[in-house]
Structure 1
Amino acid sequence: MAIFPYLRPLKGVKAEDMVREAETKQPKRVYDKGERRHKHVGKGAHPTIEFDDSQPKKWVGKCPSTLSEVERSELLNKAIAAPNGDRDLPFPKKVYVVHNGAIYEAQTSDHGRSYHGYPYKGKLSTSILSKLTAMAGKDGCSDLFDKWVDDHIERHGA
């Protein structure tokens, strides 16, 4: 118990079990906006998908300018991990979450230490979409979510 001297076991719970549980808990994901990274920051209170005039197929998801650091971290930590495909990684490369009906994707570029998120447009598997649909229902934004899916998401695979 020397590792965590401030922890007191609950009645009937061994101190060793508490330490083991604390050590095996999934660490919190850290949001990293990045220095000088303004590409994904919008000007209004709603997420948008914008297209590059010189490359009409290239899109950029713009986050609401009103989304706080605390909200970003909370969203990141409730996000659903997507399978890594054929890659055997100890962390999810991409995670997805719903906020006010919009789907956000966050990716890591530093082996799962931190993630950067933005509104998402593209293909999503039926299994990820099902989980996001449940999240939207729980958050009370199913109508906005359904509109986002209709406008921006292509169902793909299982």
Structure 2
Amino acid sequence: MAANHGRQAIPTKLTVEQFEQFILPHLGRGRRGPPPTLPLQKMFNYVLKALYMGCQWKMLPIETNALGLPEIHHTRIYRIMRRWQADGSIDRVFAGSVDQLHQDQRLDLSTIHGDGSEERRRQPGLQRAQAPQGRQGGGLLRSQMQHHRAVRECAGQPQRIAPAA
């Protein structure tokens, strides 16, 4: 059995108090139409559960109502998550949680993981191999590398990226 090392698991269910304190201030809410049949807290918990489980939306376990029917259709949960992504709510929730951790002095920067999508740099002294076209070992496409080079140079921070063949 693995040791915990003081880390918490990824939350998949927030209480109403946690939701109202940390999430609700950052979420965009619809201005038109009828109010949602389920509270936003319950919909957010379904989104968390789907992201944690990694399952298809239609396979998401949804509770039933008093009539024995699903309390909400999986497409409604997907649509609200997409709306929150489009209006920047998800980014605001993330930024707000990082800010709260920083204020509480609980932000631990000793472990930061990158996604590894940047191209590997050549080490000095190694022969330059002919790079294949397209994706390169999980790296960026050649046109994306050229775009990133242009952005860095425009920002006044020219960085050397492996030259395009």
TM score, norm. by length of structure 1? 0.26
TM score, norm. by length of structure 2? 0.25
Of Structure 1 and Structure 2, the greater strand share is in 1
Q: Which is higher, the Rg of structure 1 or of structure 2?
A: 2
